[in-house]
Amino acid sequence: MIGKLKGRVDSLDEDGLIVDVGGVGYLVSASARTLRALPGIGEAVALLIETQVREDSIRLFGFLTPGERDWFRLLQSVQGVGAKVALGILGALPGEALSTAIARGDKAMMARAPGVGPKLAARLVLELKDKAPGGVDFGGAEAPVAGLPKAAEDAVLALTGLGYARPQALAAVAKAHHALGAEAATSALIRAGLKELAQ
């Protein structure tokens, strides 16, 4: 199985790209968000890869962060979500927005993604409620829980201590952190997180 590709961007289209690795071109599908973030043609690129083997094909899916790859895997655990729909969701909603939508039960936000109707949006919110990946978007990059800013991690621990589920606490603190900035104190993040959770 291929887990990572490091090479140069050979070509790009709306569904994916070809990565040239030592003269061999690998066709990699990716979300619209990932494709927008890629370097230009001929430039170096490194992608985390999810390999899917079917009876009649082998497909590669590329991601810039472990968090996006985790969401891709998790989304497909929901009935009715295949690779195409999962990429559509990831293209429409970053990890932070996904966590927030699931934590709030926001079916309308989930339904913004292409290929997601009201029924599937409801199923996604229901089935993923306690399964959100540990990575939440703090300032752009998907950060593993261990890598959260200290004040944010302390705020999440405080909220979980008050009885909130970790995915909801993470989503609320991520939103508060984004609004208040990187230097926000734990107490301010807790207050803003509680306000967010009360909505």
Fold of 136-199: Helicase, Ruva Protein; domain 3 (1.10.8)
Cα 125 to Cα 150: distance, rounded to the nearest angstrom: 29
The CATH number for 4-64, chosen from 3.40.50.10260, 2.40.50.140, 1.20.1250.20, 3.30.70.270, is: 2.40.50.140
Beta strands in 76-186 (DSSP E): 136-138, 141-143
Q: What is the mean pLDDT of residues 137-154?
A: 56
Task: Give the other-Cβ count within 10 Å of 154's Cβ.
Answer: 17
Per the CB < 8 A criterion, the answer to whether 155 and 144 are in contact is no
Confirm whether 4-64 and 66-133 share one CATH topology.
Answer: no
pLDDT level of residue 105 (50, 70, 90 thresholds) = confident
Q: Provide the percentage of residues in the chain whose pLDDT is more than 70.
A: 90
Domain regions of the chain by residue span:
4-64, 66-133, 136-199
The CATH number for 66-133, chosen from 3.20.20.450, 3.40.50.300, 3.40.720.10, 1.10.150.20, is: 1.10.150.20
Q: What global pTM score does this model have? A: 0.65
- Whether residue 142 has pLDDT greater than 80: no
pLDDT level of residue 145 (50, 70, 90 thresholds) = very low
DSSP tally for the chain: helices H, then strands E: 9, 7
- Whether residue 70 has pLDDT greater than 70: yes
Per the CB < 8 A criterion, the answer to whether 158 and 190 are in contact is yes
* 106 Cα distance to chain centroid: 16
